[in-house]
Structure 1
Amino acid sequence: MPELPEVAGLSAFLDTRLRGAILTKIQIVSFAVLKTADPPYSALEGREITGVQRMGKFIVLDAGGIQLAFHLAKAGWLRYTESPSPAVLRPGKGYIAARLEFMKAAADVAGAPGGPRHDLHVGIDLTEAGTRKSLAVHVVRDPQDVPGIATLGPDPLSASFDLATFAGILAASPQQIKGLLRNQGVIAGIGNAYSDEILHAARISPFALSKTLDENTVRVLYESIHSVLGAAVAEAVGKAPNELKDAKRSTMRVHGRTGQPCPVCGTTIREVSFADRALQYCPGCQTNGKILADRRTSRFVK
């Protein structure tokens, strides 16, 4: 699932490519993906894209009074092309959920000053693999009309997300810290992968209770959120969509590395189920050597 850093990379890429472009055509191939009816998605056609921004894990295209917001969910992705196919897509066929085409005035490819101008035809496909379809597209007048955006918690990279705010969130929560970091209504943008990485950097068990963390541990966790996400965003921004997945995998220290040695202490990285996902952690760095058991069976393997 794309998380805050990848979504930041995608939104920055699209803002550079699409700002000032006219959305000329939109095809909704899977109507299950479209979550709104008013305004109709066809109202986007002919409008200029004035900017692209990230809100949590949502990407929002501003089309001059109408917004197109999409969430890529677990198996969704975005494909960008400067030579979009003219084909009319058949509903229910293939992995493309929606296709958007744009025209943008661009300098002649030779780049000669004062040279001829031509329109650059570009497109993006929103795709989704697998059988569980969760990708969502919303066409709204205000991003806050999207339920998933309206209920977002604070953005962890915003200036207002200071240590005192974070400490207050933890003190008020009875959740295990892994679940809290993934809860979009508490903190926006962090998912399964980066919560694993943040907890490993902070040397905290994923099953630790949020409100029991002492002042120093809260500070270390807060700093880990910024260091892990900040480094990942710096890695993602500037890359094309087809480069982001590999960039993400290459920076992971524990997530997705079950059975491999921890790069910090050498202990074998372990995996355990958590809610609807599997998490990875280092017993040496995070649980004083204890092996966490599958929560569906017992609390610890002794």
Structure 2
Amino acid sequence: MPELPEVAALTDFLAGHLRGAVVTKVQLVSFAVLKTADPPFSGLEGRTVTGVRRFGKFVSLEADGLYFVFHLARAGWVRFTDAPTGIPLRMGKGHLAARLSFSSGTGPLGLDLTEAGTKKSLAIYVVRDPHEVPGIAALGPDPFSPGFDVDALAAILAASSQQIKGVLRSQSVIAGIGNAYSDEILHAARISPFAIARSLDRDAVRVLYDAIHSILGTALREAAGKAPHELKDTKRSHMRVHGRTGEACPVCGDTVREVSFADTALQYCPGCQTKGKILADRRTSRFLK
């Protein structure tokens, strides 16, 4: 799933290539991805792209007062081309969910939204204000917003009886962090993913705050300037524990372990994060409900 660093890089890329371009056609291959009816998606046609902005893990293209907003979810991605073919699309075929065509000063441009896998969660909205999108309206603070300091994080954690892994992933609490970067942040902070948020003392909160900015900041710098097709590999190449089950931790040498859930999994290092304790895999836990 693309998270804050990849979505930020994608937003910058699209802004650089699409600002000033005119939307010539919007085609939906799967109408299930469209979550709004008014205004109609065809209302974007003929409008000029005036800006592209990120809200958490949402991308918003502004076109003369209308907004095309999308969330790529777990398996969604984009394909951008400056040499579109113009071949008519067929409904329900392949991984393609939607296509936007543009005319620009340099020629035609194309933007495809794709989604692999069987669980379809990619979402598209056409709205008059991005905050009409429920997911955007409910977002918590961005980690790099001016008001997100150590005190703000401490207040968030003090109010939560959830495990810290879930708190970091909750978009209504902190915007932009997903499964992969929460694993990396907790590893850098040497905190168990099962630690209860409000149990962290002030020193641990400071370490966690610094880890959030260090991990995300490094990822932002690595992703900056990359084309969309390069971003996934860039993300994977810098992971220390996420997706590294069975490998040696690069910090302490212990074996990276995994805890699996119904539709996802987390990775952690026992040596760095749990004082050597192996966390119970929720698939086999008798406490799973």
TM-score normalised by the chain length of structure 2? 0.97
Contact 1:292 1:299 in 2 (8 A): no
Q: Give the corresponding residue for 2:6.
A: 6
SS in 1 for 2:140: coil
Contact 2:252 2:271 in 1 (8 A): yes
Q: Give the corresponding residue for 2:56.
A: 56
SS in 2 for 1:47: coil
Q: Once the 2 structures are TM-superposed, how far is the Cα of residue 131 of structure 1 from its aligned partner?
A: 1.1
CA distance in 1, matches of 2:38, 2:196: 42
CA distance in 2, matches of 1:177, 1:161: 17
Q: Give the corresponding residue for 1:117.
A: none
SS in 2 for 1:249: helix
- Matches of residues 106-121 of structure 1 in structure 2 within 5 Å? 106=106, 120-121=107-108
Whether 2:58 is the aligned partner of 1:69: answer no
Q: Which of 1 and 2 has greater Rg?
A: 1
Relative distance call for 1:182 and 1:299 in structure 2 (3 A) is farther
Q: Once the 2 structures are TM-superposed, how far is the Cα of residue 274 of structure 1 from its aligned partner?
A: 4.1
Whether 2:193 is the aligned partner of 1:227: answer no
CA distance in 2, matches of 1:277, 1:209: 20
CA distance in 2, matches of 1:63, 1:160: 29
Of 248, 260, 275 in structure 2, the residue corresponding to residue 273 of structure 1 is: 260
Q: Give the corresponding residue for 1:243.
A: 230
Q: Give the corresponding residue for 2:173.
A: 186
CA distance in 1, matches of 2:262, 2:155: 25
Q: Once the 2 structures are TM-superposed, how far is the Cα of residue 184 of structure 1 from its aligned partner?
A: 0.5
Contact 2:257 2:270 in 1 (8 A): yes
Aligned residues: 287
CA distance in 1, matches of 2:236, 2:214: 17
CA distance in 1, matches of 2:98, 2:129: 21
SS in 1 for 2:105: strand
Q: Once the 2 structures are TM-superposed, how far is the Cα of residue 298 of structure 1 from its aligned partner?
A: 3.6
Contact 2:262 2:283 in 1 (8 A): no
Q: Once the 2 structures are TM-superposed, how far is the Cα of residue 25 of structure 1 from its aligned partner?
A: 0.7
Q: Give the corresponding residue for 1:202.
A: 189
Of 120, 131, 138 in structure 2, the residue corresponding to residue 144 of structure 1 is: 131
Contact 1:254 1:262 in 2 (8 A): yes
1:21-52 C-alpha deviation (Å, 9 max, x unpaired) = 10111101100000000000000000010110
Cα RMSD after superposing both structures: 1.2
- Matches of residues 126-165 of structure 1 in structure 2 within 5 Å? 126-165=113-152
CA distance in 1, matches of 2:194, 2:278: 12
CA distance in 2, matches of 1:274, 1:197: 18
Relative distance call for 1:180 and 1:275 in structure 2 (3 A) is farther
Relative distance call for 1:134 and 1:196 in structure 2 (3 A) is same
Q: Once the 2 structures are TM-superposed, how far is the Cα of residue 123 of structure 1 from its aligned partner?
A: 0.5
TM-score normalised by the chain length of structure 1? 0.93
Structure 2 unmatched ranges of 5 or more: none
SS in 2 for 1:173: coil
Q: Once the 2 structures are TM-superposed, how far is the Cα of residue 295 of structure 1 from its aligned partner?
A: 2.4
Whether 2:205 is the aligned partner of 1:218: answer yes
1:53-84 C-alpha deviation (Å, 9 max, x unpaired) = 11000000011110000000111000000111
Q: Percent identity?
A: 70
State the one-letter code of the partner of 1:42. Answer: S
Contact 1:95 1:128 in 2 (8 A): yes
State the one-letter code of the partner of 1:6. Answer: E
